[in-house]
Structure 1
Amino acid sequence: MSRPSLKESCTKIVATVGPACASVEQLAALIQAGADVFRINTAHGSRHEHESTLANIRAASKQSGFEAGVLLDLAGPKIRLGQLVEDPLVCELGATLSFVRGESASDSHELTSSYARLIDELSPGDRVMLADGLVALQVEKVTESHAQCRVTAGGTVRSRQGINLPGVKLSVSAMRRQDVDNAIWAAQNNIDFVGLSFVRSAEDVQSLKDLLASHESNAMVIAKIEKPEALDQLEAIVEAADGVMVARGDLGVEIDVAETPVAQKRIIRVCKEKMKPVIVATQMLESMHSSSRPTRAEVSDVANAILDGADACMLSGETAIGEHPVESVQMMNRIMLCTEREMLANPISEPIPNSRVSPITTAVTIAATNIAEAIQAKLIVIGTHSGGTAWVKSKSRSRIPTLGASDSHDTLRRMNLLWGIKPILSSHLQHTPEFIDEICGWGREHADLKTGDQIVFVTGSGVVQKAHNVVIVHTVESR
């Protein structure tokens, strides 16, 4: 399909880049399949590899004629196992394992970690989860040199797999030196979104925003909710962030896995209340790593995230290392379209807060949406420099397809995370005959616009500074 298209889903697709889809041709194929934003995960790969990935994303965007957004995901203070003496290590139920200081272990029952202060911050009774919760330990004894643990859930672990410490208060900063360096690199390379891992407070978010601003970056900060402390401070974190990711991988280990669905619904609800885009991530189509079809449970998982109000869903290993990256994006798009068809047939009108943009803009945008619904317009078109007005329109969940027209390439890429907004480049954003003719020409070519169809335009007159105060209903004329 040609992008953007009125036939693609309103919910956006974030695809993680990895060996399975790293070439320009593969990335262009993902864009055509429906990917809106590409994620670069800095927990894997070198700076050279990240630079190559970014260059390939930009080249694929140019080749496909669609400017995909880029999300740089900071690794954060992820604690990992060191090198195991016996790799892989089978952890038998009831066995004793000990964390020791330093970078090397002397026997198979000793474990090391990437976090130097781990032993200092563990106490008897603490839980330690390895390999995304596959293996569980309980701390029994802590000395100056080691922390002795008992295996309470057996399994097999490998070197450098993750360590989670549910309920343990760590003193580690939300951003390591490497994360700061990666954030500066993101700012210098005009990256659109920066994901902050293991957020615990609004101050963590503000620190990253300040760092990006100091390097003249307008990147949106995406707070990843994956710690119990983040759930405790959820409202403040969502308020501080530009967007949120429900990072279910670590979240499902840090809290009881049975609580994860309820936590997801709460995060989405708070994001809707505070008008922030929210991404649901991790294991959405997990079986498509190796299978060309997802399980029915996975399809239901994606659909329920959309029905709850997610703005985007993210594919991780499915596109990064899976055997069917393009098919995974296509399947995600199919599920979204089917779910949205039902959702948009029974729209729910909700009040929209006006904290992000001028109250005039909010009122005009809501009125334009109501007019478009009443007359069954074929399109809503928003002329926007910054994307703020499109942000308001995104939260209406209107059934009318919406174009976000902008003269800013940065804005076009950022609008890729806004539900229902299809970004197109335009040099005419005021209510001029040139702007109307340009949109009608695009509509005839890409949206099957016919004579007599109606388009609702939301623009500004220039009289009211930084506000959209004009609504135009245009009837498409014969050529």
Structure 2
Amino acid sequence: MNVSVKSLLERPSRTKIVATLGPASDSEEMLEKLIFAGVDVFRINAAHGTQERFAVMVKRIRSVSKRIGLPVGILMDLAGPKIRLGELENGELTLESGSEMAFVSPKFLEKSAGCPHLVGIPCVTCTYEPLVNELRAGDRIVLADGTVELTVSQVSAKKNQWAKCRVLDGGTVRSRQGVNLPGVKLSIPAMLEIDRSNAAWAAKNGVDFLGLSFVRHAFEITDLKNLIAENGGTTQVVAKIEKPEALENLAEIVKETDAVMVARGDLGVETDIARVAVLQKEIIQICRAYRRPVIVATQMLESMTHTNLPTRAEVSDVANAILDGTDACMLSGESAVGEFPVETVQMMHRIALGTEDTLESDFLQFIPETSPIDQTLEIMARNVCDLAEELNAKFIVTATANGESARCLSANRGPARIIALTPSRDTLQKMCLDWGVIPMELPKSKKTTKDIMAFALELLKNENLAVPGDRLILFTDASLGTAQNAIVVYDVK
């Protein structure tokens, strides 16, 4: 991949953009336009599609990226144990506040008409068959993204039968809409068989990131990592924070995962919606402490699904996520099925630029004792950022095999641009998620600190990005094997 530094710097936003693919955006022509508009990572929603379809999309993304010379990452989002309503008669059901309805086991559905406890009550099924056995009187159930709320009033004494509910807030629900159970601890696993199959496929086919939905415990991430390793992959795990149990175990989850997504849709249903903004800040803060890239997702520019301008509130939302310290902002329906996918990416890019202009250096002073990254590297990265600001260095050039030095530099949010050189295509694509990092391929022949600095200088000088009088800082990490952890200050002559 012949990547031009200048072409990468022409996308000056340091906040990364994740765009979900769908009918509006998955053609080669649209992929190219979206990359040039500023997309760094493409998201494939595994809830929609087959592995044959995923293969076409991955191949297409890699082909376009290689042809235009701009690296991008690929995130596949596993559907996870999302509970949905079954098929409803006529496709929908209107529930009046104060009325009753019942969840029934699929096997009991035909018998429900003759059950004396359910006379005159609409009965529905859901995709999680044991649900009626795990509900208790007083449990809260939320349907259709929070628009309808129920409370469980009675559960059958016999297993696999029914759970009767009273409607607190009414509305119309449709077949296959989501069922959330805030505060209810279910025995459903983090990955269903289809998720495990899709995860194995992703590992074998070089997908960069796997989103794990409805994470509750760190061991669920470990399980997915083991599955990836068993299938010969290096795919990194993105833990989606959307359950109260995840918040209870947040530090352990963040330490174990490779990256995090603040999945505000289900998070706002599973927890108090009024606290979502505060929870977002807390999650980002912990991610930064553990040097984990974090993505903020859901409804960021949703009005642009059908209009070519966002609301002022949406602009403020994107800006505040950046001010909170997010590495990336994500588009969902806006880019998947929206009428203005390219314009939406361009708008997010503009908002990011305008917000980043106001950011001050935010060097991390706290390194957790349990930080998964080597503390020597942590301290050196912080010192490099401090030195770059003191010396007014134009660029920090880091050379790394595994991306850790780039991630440490990114977490410190210094003013100098970070060019991350790596001989690994795998690492190149994964660094597309790190704030402020410009990933570039390092020829495998460049092994010593001297060779790497000469290569970086040649790149920058050839495109007039480094001129006499400029100052550069080179930071190499020992992951390269042939170079040491080293800091070199260089004045361009």
C-alpha deviation, 1:95, in angstroms: 2.4
1:204 is matched with: 220
CA 1:6/1:443 → structure 2, altered by over 3 Å: closer, same or farther? farther
**Among 294, 306, 311, the residue aligned to 1:278:** 294
1:471 is matched with: 487
Q: Deviations over 1:332-355 (max 9, x none)?
A: 111111111100xx2233225384
> Where do 1:263-302 residues align within 5 Å?
263-302=279-318
1:452 is matched with: 469
Which shifted more, 453-462 or 139-148? 453-462
Q: Deviations over 1:405-430 (max 9, x none)?
A: 11110000011111111001121554
| Contact 1:430/1:459, CA 8 A, preserved across alignment | no
Q: Could you tell me how far apart the structure 2 residues matched to 1:468 and 1:365 are?
A: 14
Identity %: 47
AA in 1 matched with 2:132? I
CA 1:231/1:432 → structure 2, altered by over 3 Å: closer, same or farther? closer
Q: Could you tell me how far apart the structure 1 residues matched to 2:31 and 2:236 are?
A: 23
C-alpha deviation, 1:151, in angstroms: 1.7
**Among 175, 183, 191, the residue aligned to 2:199:** 183
Residue 48 of structure 2: SS of its match in structure 1? coil
AA in 2 matched with 1:95? S
1:379 is matched with: 395
> Where do 1:120-139 residues align within 5 Å?
120-139=133-152
Q: Could you tell me how far apart the structure 1 residues matched to 2:99 and 2:24 are?
A: 38
Which shifted more, 390-399 or 80-89? 80-89
**Among 2, 8, 27, the residue aligned to 1:4:** 8
TM-score, normalised via structure 1 length: 0.93
Residue 342 of structure 1: SS of its match in structure 2? coil
Answering whether residue 362 of structure 2 is matched by residue 348 of structure 1, we say: yes
1:95 is matched with: 99
Answering whether residue 35 of structure 2 is matched by residue 31 of structure 1, we say: yes
**Equivalenced residues, count:** 474
Answering whether residue 97 of structure 2 is matched by residue 80 of structure 1, we say: no
2:408 is matched with: 392
2:269 is matched with: 253
| Contact 2:363/2:385, CA 8 A, preserved across alignment | no
CA 1:352/1:409 → structure 2, altered by over 3 Å: closer, same or farther? farther
Q: Could you tell me how far apart the structure 2 residues matched to 1:471 and 1:167 are?
A: 50
Q: Could you tell me how far apart the structure 2 residues matched to 1:104 and 1:331 are?
A: 51
Q: Deviations over 1:432-474 (max 9, x none)?
A: 5553343234324557332322221112589x96874322222
Q: Could you tell me how far apart the structure 2 residues matched to 1:332 and 1:136 are?
A: 34
| Contact 2:405/2:476, CA 8 A, preserved across alignment | no
CA RMSD of aligned residues (A): 2.2
Answering whether residue 163 of structure 2 is matched by residue 159 of structure 1, we say: no
Answering whether residue 382 of structure 2 is matched by residue 366 of structure 1, we say: yes
2:162 is matched with: 146
Q: Could you tell me how far apart the structure 1 residues matched to 2:219 and 2:478 are?
A: 38
Which shifted more, 246-255 or 432-441? 432-441
Q: Could you tell me how far apart the structure 2 residues matched to 1:26 and 1:249 are?
A: 26
| Contact 1:368/1:458, CA 8 A, preserved across alignment | yes
Answering whether residue 124 of structure 2 is matched by residue 111 of structure 1, we say: yes
AA in 1 matched with 2:485? N
1:51 is matched with: 55
Which shifted more, 56-65 or 10-19? 56-65
**Among 155, 160, 172, the residue aligned to 2:188:** 172
1:322 is matched with: 338
Q: Could you tell me how far apart the structure 1 residues matched to 2:34 and 2:457 are?
A: 28
Which shifted more, 378-387 or 43-52? 43-52
CA 1:157/1:103 → structure 2, altered by over 3 Å: closer, same or farther? farther
Q: Could you tell me how far apart the structure 2 residues matched to 1:288 and 1:65 are?
A: 29
**Among 217, 232, 244, the residue aligned to 1:216:** 232
Q: Could you tell me how far apart the structure 1 residues matched to 2:329 and 2:463 are?
A: 25
**Among 294, 312, 326, the residue aligned to 2:328:** 312
AA in 1 matched with 2:90? E
Residue 331 of structure 1: SS of its match in structure 2? helix
Q: Could you tell me how far apart the structure 2 residues matched to 1:328 and 1:167 are?
A: 35
C-alpha deviation, 1:216, in angstroms: 2.4
Q: Is there any run of 5+ residues in structure 2 with no aligned partner, and where? A: 114-120
2:24 is matched with: 20
C-alpha deviation, 1:13, in angstroms: 0.9
| Contact 1:142/1:148, CA 8 A, preserved across alignment | yes
C-alpha deviation, 1:81, in angstroms: 0.8
Q: Could you tell me how far apart the structure 1 residues matched to 2:174 and 2:430 are?
A: 38
CA 1:243/1:429 → structure 2, altered by over 3 Å: closer, same or farther? farther
Which shifted more, 102-111 or 160-169? 102-111
Residue 467 of structure 2: SS of its match in structure 1? coil
